[in-house]
Amino acid sequence: MKLRRCTTVMFEPREEVSLGLQAILAGRAEVTTKTTWLALAAHLDQAVPVSVAQRELLGALSSRQWTESSDMVATQADQDALLEAGLLISDSDEHAAHRQRDEGMRDGHWWPLAALVHRHARWSGVNSAAQMRDSTMLTAKDLRRQLGAPPPVVQPHPGTYQPLPAVNATGYDQLLERRATCRNFDVARSIDQAQLAQLLQRTVMAQAVVQVEADTAFLKKNVPSGGGLHPTETYLLVQRVEGLAPGLYHYHPVQHALVTLPRHCDRPLQDVAEAMLSGQDWFSNAAAHLVLVPRFARTNWKYRNHAKAYRALLLDVGHLSQALYMAATEAGLAAFVTAAINEIDTEAVFALDGVTQSPVAIVGVGWRSDTLDTAEFDPNKVVWP
């Protein structure tokens, strides 16, 4: 059997601080620390505790060149533990799953630090709303009371600021002012299929296809994208859209069409949405949720092992979310965007592998409720006069 180290791994010394029980019983406060070495790999969802010997073994191996297991200076127990964890990659069928995931990350041309950030910042089963309620950190005053004062809203520089002329507002300024995150959706009202179609047409639909070669094309959309690559796919969870059955969909930006996706569980769609949205129940009842899912290989094809590729990809999602906000507002609809999502759970809903594709944010649209049950940020009283 041949072995190699996984493609991308970082070692973190994590320190745990505790009070000695015996000292406390004796009336003394003695702090003890324990350091554990953790390996964070780009193809694994969890950090793996490793011994010093295992850490040194991984550091001595190549991620590209295979080594016969019999030639390794390591105990069989260490080899087996690292193989089971996926930190050692084997050419055997028994460990094919770890090898395929590792090769998927390697062939995606990730910059190593970005690959680690992507992998280990993903959530599963997190209920951020419950955490906010349990810690009483729901309002701005709650945050101020528990965290102290934030940095100032502006950091002025020395000197005299020259005032700029006030320009008369236009209809676009009024549209911008009406753009406010919705936390109160009307659960009894559906949106028209034409409204959803217009929303997609204005934001994620390809306005033109530029065919460079038979196998190489670029899309022109109404939003900018790093390198003109437009790597972000749009998946939908539809609850109340006239003419569309409630369910899961994928949007084709060239055909301007939706295809139904299979559901892998029989839970109510609002429960599925709430799980994806890490418990943010004020968002889960939107008429339609648009899940923004980059295909990393599309960006990394051009920006190979590039330190800015992941940043450009995240900016793409930001451009899309603002475009969707504005298009929804112009149509009279309400919208939200959040990055506080359970990526791993969302991947399971849409059968995404988390290696080649993974969600970054979710945008929801629908009709705003007539009642303000959950606070919304509307300081100028434009939405809620």
Check: pTM over 0.75? Answer yes or no. Answer: yes
- Take residue 311 and report the two structure tokens written for it: 């940043």
Residues 101/36, Cβ–Cβ less than 8 Å: no
Cβ neighbours around 124 below 10 Å, total: 15
| Predicted confidence band of residue 58 (pLDDT cuts 50, 70, 90) | very high
Above 90 in pLDDT, residue 26?
no
Nearest-10 Cα torsion for 267, 273, 279, 283: -140
CA distance 179 to 327: 10
Band of residue 16 on the pLDDT scale cut at 50, 70, 90: confident
Please count the CA atoms within 13 angstroms of the CA of 247 that sit on its side-chain side.
Answer: 12
CB atoms within 10 A of CB 254: 11
Q: Indicate where the chain has its CATH 3.40.109.10 domain(s).
A: 128-133+175-366
Span 342-359, average pLDDT:
96
> CA of 32: how far to CAs of 2, 24, 29, 259, 264, in Å?
42, 12, 10, 58, 47
The single-letter DSSP state of residue 328 is H
Which residue, among 359, 331, 378, 379, has the nearest Cα to 182 in the 3D structure? 378
Where does residue 175 fall: left (phi above 0), alpha (psi -120 to 50 degrees), or beta otherwise?
Answer: alpha
Structure tokens given for 150: 């934030």
Minimum mean pLDDT among 143-157, 202-216, 226-240: which range?
143-157
Residue 83 has pLDDT above 90, yes or no: yes
- The letter for the amino acid at 35 is T
pLDDT of residue 85: 97
Domain 128-133+175-366 is found in CATH 3.40.109.10? yes
User: Which of 320, 291, 306, 143 has its CA nearest to residue 230?
Assistant: 320
Grade residue 29 by pLDDT with cuts at 50, 70 and 90. low
What would the two tokens of residue 367 be?
């009709």
Query: Looking at residue 71, what is its pLDDT?
Result: 87
- For the four alpha carbons of 375, 378, 381 and 384, in that order, the dihedral sign comes to negative
- First-to-last CA distance in the chain? 71
Helix and strand tally (H, E) in the chain? 14, 14
For tokens 């609809």, the residue is 333
Average confidence score pLDDT of the chain: 94
Q: Where are the beta strands (DSSP E) in 204-348?
A: 208-213, 216-220, 232-238, 247-252, 257-261, 288-294, 334-338
User: What is the percent of the chain with per-residue pLDDT over 90, rounded to a whole number?
Assistant: 89
Position 106 scores a pLDDT of 93
